[in-house]
C-alpha cells in the first residue's frame, strides 16, 4: 500500500495518456474507454461506408451487377453497422469521455462494467461481419429483418438451408444491445449520483441531459428488441410459429415489437447528438444557450412521446384505421418538442458573435439538415402520404437527413470541438473546413434527389430499377462517392494532428463547461481538486465575464 | 493484456473509491442493479404483451383440441416460490441483526424452495402433452416458462455464491452486504414475474 501513494503522485502528471498500449487493454479509465469507443466505431463507420459505396456502384445502372442475395446482404449489413456499431456506440463514446468530466466526477460509477460494455463491441461487430462468410450468406432482410422474409430458408446450390446469416445477425444484435444497456445504466447512475458539489440537475450541461434521457430509452426499449429477435431465432432454429402465418403465427407482432424499440431508438441516435449541438452553438456564438430548461425538458418530452408513435412505421401493415389515426396524431405531436429545440438553437445563434470554426459549421449544418429531415418525417407521419411513399426512396431520404445530416454531422461537430481535450492536440481548421464543404455538398447531392425518386415510386432495397430513374440515381451515386471521399481529409487531419498537431491549451475555445477547467488531455483523476460549481454552464458574455476572456465560472478549490 | 497504467487505475479507483462501495462514496451498486432489473423487466413485459396479442387475435384460447393444463400442482409450486420470497427477507433480517447462523439457515431454505420450484417446473414440462412446436399455444407456453425458469436458475446460482461467500469472515456484515441485497432483490423480481406469468398462463 506504500506504492499507492507513490502511484498517486505519478498520476498527477498531466500527460498520462501517453502510453498507447492502454488503448488495447481492459483499462477502466473512462477517458481511455471513451476514446476506445470513438476509434473503434469510426473503424466500423468506414466499413459501413465502404458497403454504401458498393450499393451506390450497383445502383449506377438499372440492371443488377451483383448477385441479388449479395446485394441484400450488403444493404442489410450496411444499415446494421451504421446503427448498432457506429451511431449508437459512438455517441456512447462521447458520453464516456465527457459525462464524468462535465459533472465533475473522477470516473463513471462502475468503471469495470464500463470497460466490459466497450469490450463487447469489437466481438459483436466481428460476429456480424462473419455472416458474409457463412454458406447461407449474410442476413438479407434489411436492418428491420421482418419475418417471414427473414425466417425463410435460403437456397444454396440445390439445397434449402436454414438462414444462418440471419441467426448471426440476431446474436450480434442481442450482444450489442446488451452492451448498450450496460452502458446506459452506468450513465444513469453516474449522472444521478456522482455530480460534484453545486452541480444541480439544472446546472448540468445539456449533453448530460441528453445522455441521461437517451440512456433511459435504451434501458426500457432495448430489451423489447431483444425479445423480438429472440422469438425470431426460435422460429428460425427451432421451428416455432410465432411469426409464421402458415402455422397460426403473426408477422405483424414482430413489427410491433421491433418498432417499439426502433422508433425510440432513433432518439437514442439523435438526442445525444442534439446534446453535442447544444454545447457547440453557445461557445461559438459567445451567448448563453437560449431556453436551457426548455431544451432539457423537451428531451424528456421526446423520450416519453417517442414510446407512443411506433406504429407510424406500420401504416401499410394492415393497422386498423383508428390506430393509424392515433399514431398519426402522436407522431405529429413529436414535432412540438423537436421544434422547441430547433427554435432554441436559432435563438442561441441569433445576434451572436459567430465564430465559424469547423465544429460550428457542422453544428449549423446539423440544425439545417435536421430540419429538412424533420419536415419529411412529418410528411411521412401523415397516413395518406405514407401509403404512397412507404418503402420508397422517400423514406431513405428522410432517414439519412436525420441520421446523417443530423447525427453524423453532430458527431463531426463533437469531434472537432473535443479533439483538443481528448488528445491534447489541435486539429487543422483549414482541412476541417474542406471536410465540411465536401461533406455538405456530397450529402445533399446524395440524399436530396432521393426525395424525388421516392415520390416517383422507386422502391427501396432493390438492386434493379426502371430505366427512367437512372439519371437521378447517377447523380445520387456521384454524391455518394463524394461523401465517401469527404471522409479522407478528416482521417488525415485526425491522424496527423493527433501525432504532430500543435499542442492544445486547456481551454482553446474559451468554453465554460467543466471539462475545459482541467488540462488537455485531462489527468487520470480528471481534476486535481474536484471543482465546486457556482453557476450554470453557458453564461457567455454575461455580467461578470468579459466577452474577450470568459473564464469558467466553476472555481476549483480544495475539496477532500 | 493489462498495461501498467491500467493497473494503476485499479489502485486509483480503490484509492478514491469509484462507487465501488468500499470508499467514501455511497454504494451505488444497488441502484445500478435495480436499473438492470427494470431493463430485464421490460423483456418480460415485451413477451407478455406479445402473448396477450396472440390471445386476443386467436378465435379461441386455448385453441380447440389443446389438452387441459394441470392447475393444482403448479399452484402449489407457486405458493412455495412466493413463500420463499418471504423466507429470503427473514434471512436478510437475520443478517442485519448480525446473526450469521440464522441467516444461512433461512438463505439455504430459500434456495431449497427455489429448487423445488424448478424441479416442479421440470416435472410439468416432461408430462405436458404438447410441445414447443405445437402452434402458438405450445410456443408461448414453453418460451415464457422457459425464460422465467432460466431466471430462477440464475437466481439460485447467485444464492449459492452468496451462501459460500458468507463463510468468509466479515464478507457480509450488517452494514455492507451488496451480494445479499442484490440476489435477494433479484429473487423478488423473479417471484413477481412468476405471479404475472402464472396468472396469464393458468388463470385468465
Ligand atoms: C419530426 C419527427 C419525425 C417524424 C414525424 C418521423 C416519421 C417517420 C415515419 C412516419 C417513418 C416511416 C416511413 C415509412 O416507412 O413509410 C419514418 C422512418 C424513419 N425515420 Fe423518422 N420521423 C421523425 C424523425 C426521425 C429522427 C429524428 C430519426 C433519427 C434520428 C428518424 C429515423 C427514421 C428512420 C431510420 C426511418 C426508417 C426506418 C426504416 O428503415 O423503415 N426519424 N420516420
Ligand atoms: Cu419512427
Q: What is the pLDDT of residues B153-167, one digit of tens each?
A: 999 999 999 999 999
Identify which of B31, B46, B143 has the shortest CB distance to residue A234: B143
Give the total number of structural domains in chain A: 1
Cβ–ligand 1 distance for A374 under 6 Å, the answer yes
Which numbered ligand comes closest to the C-alpha of A263?
2
pLDDT at B25: 53
User: Would you say residue B20 has pLDDT above 80?
Assistant: no
What is the best residue among A87, A88, A143, A380 to mutate for testing ligand 1's pocket, by most ligand atoms within 8 Å of CB?
A380
Cβ neighbours of residue B105 closer than 8 Å, sequence gap 6 or more: B91, B94
Whether pLDDT at A549 is above 70 = no
pLDDT of residue A555: 46
The percentage of residues in chain A with a pLDDT greater than 90, rounded to a whole number, is: 85
Which residue in chain B is spatially nearest to A16 when comparing CA positions?
B5
User: Would the CB of A144 count as within 6 Å of ligand 1?
Assistant: yes
| Residue A554 pLDDT class (50, 70, 90 cuts) | very low
Ligand 1 proximity of A328 Cβ (cutoff 6 Å) = no
Which residue in B1, B15, B18 has the most chain A C-beta atoms within 10 A of its own C-beta, making it the best mutation to test that interface? B18
Average pLDDT for B42-68: 90
Question: Are the beta carbons of B6 and A22 separated by less than 8 Å?
Answer: yes
pLDDT given at position A24: 82
Lowest mean pLDDT among A12-21, A286-295, A390-399, B11-20: B11-20
Answer whether A64 touches B (CB < 8 Å).
no
pLDDT of residue A327: 97
Whether residue B24 is predicted with pLDDT greater than 70 in this model: the reply is no
Which has more pLDDT, A437 or B57? A437
Q: What is the arithmetic mean of pLDDT over A55-83?
A: 96
**φ and ψ of A529, to 5 deg:** -125, 140
B21–chain A nearest CA distance, Å: 10
Q: How far is CA B29 from CA A113, A189, A201, B33, B186, in A?
A: 11, 9, 21, 6, 13
Helix (H) or strand (E) holding A154: strand A154-156
Ligand 1 proximity of A184 Cβ (cutoff 6 Å)? no
Q: How far is the CA of A220 from the centre of ligand 2 (A)?
A: 16
- Separation of alpha carbons A75 and A78, rounded Å: 5
Indicate if the pLDDT at residue B152 is higher than 80: yes
A8 lies in a domain?
no
Residue A560: pLDDT over 50: no
Please report which confidence band the pLDDT of residue A181 belongs to, taking 50, 70 and 90 as the band edges: very high
- Could you tell me if residue A556 is inside a domain? no
Look over chain A and give the mean of its residue pLDDT values, rounded to a whole number.
Answer: 92
Indicate which CATH number applies to the domain containing A439.
1.20.210.10
Ligand 1 pocket check for A524: Cβ under 6 Å: no
- What pLDDT does A253 receive? 95
pLDDT for A374 equals 96
In percent, how much of chain A has pLDDT > 70? Answer: 93
CA distance A428 to A415: 12
Asked, for residue A85, whether it belongs to a domain, the answer is: yes
Of the partner residues B32, B58, B135, the one whose CB lies closest to the CB of residue A110: B32
Contact A111/B45, CB-based, under 8 Å? no
A12 contact partners, CB below 8 Å, separation of at least 6: A523, A525, A528
Task: Please give the distance of CA A136 from its chain centroid, rounded to a whole number.
Answer: 30
Region A353-361 average pLDDT:
95
Among A11, A238, A253, select the one facing B50 at the smallest CB separation: A253
Q: Is residue B42 scored above 60 in pLDDT? A: yes
Q: Which residue range(s) make up the domain with A440?
A: 29-517
* pLDDT (0 to 100) of residue A8: 40
For residue B26, what pLDDT is reported? 63
Contact A521, A515 (CB under 8 A): no
**CB contact (8 A) between residue B9 and residue A257:** no
Residue A24, chain B, CB below 8 Å: the answer is yes
pLDDT, position B156? 97
Whether the per-residue pLDDT at A11 is higher than 60: the answer is: no
pLDDT at B1 over 60: no
Residue of chain B whose alpha carbon sits nearest to that of A20: B3
What are the tens digits of pLDDT across the range A474-506?
Answer: 999 999 999 999 999 999 999 999 999 999 999
**Predicted pLDDT at A448:** 98
Domains annotated on chain B, with CATH: 27-203 (1.20.120.80)
What is the DSSP-derived secondary structure letter of residue A291?
Answer: T
A21 domain-assigned = no
pLDDT, tens digit (0-9, with 9 covering 90-100), for A124-170 = 999 999 999 998 889 999 999 999 999 998 888 888 889 999 999 99
Question: Could you tell me if A524 lies within 8 Å of chain B, comparing CB atoms?
Answer: yes
* A545 has a pLDDT exceeding 60: no
A24 in any annotated domain? no
Mean pLDDT of A333-339: 93
Residue A237 lies in a domain: yes
- More confident of the two residues B62 and A260: A260
At A18 the pLDDT is 56
A524 falls within a domain: no
Please write the tens of the pLDDT for every residue from A14-44.
444 457 778 888 889 999 999 999 999 999 9
Judge whether A541 lies within some domain.
no
Amino acid at each position: 500500500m506504500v506504492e499507492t501513494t507513490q502511484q498517486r503522485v505519478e498520476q498527477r502528471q498531466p500527460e498520462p495518456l501517453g502510453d498507447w498500449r492502454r488503448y488495447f487493454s481492459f483499462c477502466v479509465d473512462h477517458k481511455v474507454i471513451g476514446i476506445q469507443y470513438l476509434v473503434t466505431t469510426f473503424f466500423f463507420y468506414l466499413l459501413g461506408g465502404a458497403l454504401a459505396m458498393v450499393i451506390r456502384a450497383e445502383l449506377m445502372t438499372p440492371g443488377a451487377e451483383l448477385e441479388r442475395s449479395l446485394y441484400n446482404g450488403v444493404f442489410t449489413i450496411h444499415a446494421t453497422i451504421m446503427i448498432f456499431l457506429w451511431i449508437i456506440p459512438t455517441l456512447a463514446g462521447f458520453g464516456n469521455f465527457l459525462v464524468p468530466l462535465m459533472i465533475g466526477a473522477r470516473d463513471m460509477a462502475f468503471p469495470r462494467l464500463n470497460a466490459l460494455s466497450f469490450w463487447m463491441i469489437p466481438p459483436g461487430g466481428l460476429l456480424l461481419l462473419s455472416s458474409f462468410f457463412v454458406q447461407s450468406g449474410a442476413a438479407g432482410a434489411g436492418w428491420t429483418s421482418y419475418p417471414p422474409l427473414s425466417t425463410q430458408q435460403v437456397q444454396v446450390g440445390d439445397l434449402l438451408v436454414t438462414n444462418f446469416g440471419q441467426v448471426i445477425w440476431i446474436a450480434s444484435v442481442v450482444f450489442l444491445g446488451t452492451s448498450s444497456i450496460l452502458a446506459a445504466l452506468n450513465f444513469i447512475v453516474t449522472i444521478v449520483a456522482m455530480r460534484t458539489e453545486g452541480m444541480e440537475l439544472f446546472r448540468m450541461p445539456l449533453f448530460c441531459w441528453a445522455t441521461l434521457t437517451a440512456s433511459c430509452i435504451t434501458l426500457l426499449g432495448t430489451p423489447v428488441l431483444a425479445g423480438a429477435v429472440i422469438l425470431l431465432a426460435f422460429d428460425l432454429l427451432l421451428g416455432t410459429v410465432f411469426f409464421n402465418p402458415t402455422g397460426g403465427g403473426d408477422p405483424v407482432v414482430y413489427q410491433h415489437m421491433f418498432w417499439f424499440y426502433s422508433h425510440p431508438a432513433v432518439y437514442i441516435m439523435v438526442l445525444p447528438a442534439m446534446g453535442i449541438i447544444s454545447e457547440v452553438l453557445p461557445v461559438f456564438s459567445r451567448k448563453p444557450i437560449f431556453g436551457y430548461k426548455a431544451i432539457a425538458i423537451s428531451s424528456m418530452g421526446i423520450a416519453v412521446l417517442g414510446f407512443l408513435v411506433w406504429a407510424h412505421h406500420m401504416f401499410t401493415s394492415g393497422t386498423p384505421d383508428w390506430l393509424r389515426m392515433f399514431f398519426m396524431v402522436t407522431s405529429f405531436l413529436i414535432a412540438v418538442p423537436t421544434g422547441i429545440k430547433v427554435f432554441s438553437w436559432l435563438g442561441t445563434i441569433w445576434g451572436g458573435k459567430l465564430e465559424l470554426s469547423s465544429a460550428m459549421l457542422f453544428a449549423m449544418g446539423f440544425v439545417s439538415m435536421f430540419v429538412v429531415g424533420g419536415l419529411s418525417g412529418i410528411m411521412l407521419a401523415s397516413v395518406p402520404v405514407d401509403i404512397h411513399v412507404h418503402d420508397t426512396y422517400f423514406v431513405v431520404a428522410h432517414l439519412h437527413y436525420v441520421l446523417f445530416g443530423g447525427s453524423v454531422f453532430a458527431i463531426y461537430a463533437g469531434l472537432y470541438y473535443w479533439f483538443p481535450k481528448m488528445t491534447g492536440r489541435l486539429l487543422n481548421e483549414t482541412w476541417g473546413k474542406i471536410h465540411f464543404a465536401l461533406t455538405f455538398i456530397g450529402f445533399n447531392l446524395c440524399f436530396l434527389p432521393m426525395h424525388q425518386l421516392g415520390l416517383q415510386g422507386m422502391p427501396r432495397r432493390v438492386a434493379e430499377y426502371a430505366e427512367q430513374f437512372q439519371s437521378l440515381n447517377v447523380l445520387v451515386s456521384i454524391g455518394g462517392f463524394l461523401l465517401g471521399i469527404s471522409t479522407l481529409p478528416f482521417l488525415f487531419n485526425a491522424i496527423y494532428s493527433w501525432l504532430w498537431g500543435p499542442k492544445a491549451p486547456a481551454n482553446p475555445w474559451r468554453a465554460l463547461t467543466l471539462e475545459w477547467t482541467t488540462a488537455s488531455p485531462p489527468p487520470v483523476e480528471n481534476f486535481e481538486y474536484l471543482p465546486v460549481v457556482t453557476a450554470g454552464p453557458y453564461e457567455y458574455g454575461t455580467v461578470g465575464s468579459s466577452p474577450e476572456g470568459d473564464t469558467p465560472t466553476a472555481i476549483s478549490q480544495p475539496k477532500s | 493484456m493489462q498495461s501498467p497504467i491500467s493497473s494503476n487505475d485499479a489502485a486509483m479507483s480503490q484509492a478514491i473509491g469509484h462507487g465501488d462501495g468500499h470508499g467514501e462514496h455511497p454504494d451505488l451498486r444497488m441502484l445500478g442493479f435495480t436499473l438492470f432489473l427494470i431493463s430485464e423487466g421490460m423483456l418480460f413485459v415485451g413477451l407478455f404483451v406479445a402473448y396477450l396479442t396472440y390471445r386476443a387475435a386467436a378465435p379461441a384460447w386455448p385453441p380447440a383440441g389443446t389438452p387441459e393444463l394441470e392447475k393444482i400442482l403448479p399452484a402449489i409450486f407457486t405458493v412455495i416460490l412466493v413463500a420463499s420470497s418471504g423466507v429470503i427477507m427473514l434471512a436478510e433480517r437475520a443478517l442485519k441483526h448480525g446473526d450469521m447462523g440464522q441467516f444461512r439457515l433461512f438463505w439455504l431454505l430459500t434456495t431449497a424452495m427455489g429448487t423445488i420450484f424448478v424441479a416442479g417446473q421440470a416435472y410439468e414440462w416432461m408430462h405436458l402433452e404438447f410441445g414447443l412446436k405445437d402452434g402458438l399455444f405450445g410456443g408461448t407456453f414453453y418460451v415464457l416458462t422457459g425464460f422465467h425458469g432460466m431466471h430462477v436458475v440464475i437466481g439460485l446460482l447467485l444464492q449459492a455464491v452468496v451462501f459460500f461467500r458468507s463463510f468468509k469472515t466479515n464478507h457480509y456484515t450488517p452494514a455492507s452486504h451488496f451480494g445479499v441485497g442484490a440476489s435477494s432483490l433479484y429473487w423478488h423480481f423473479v417471484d413477481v414475474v412468476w405471479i404475472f406469468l402464472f396468472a396469464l398462463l393458468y388463470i385468465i
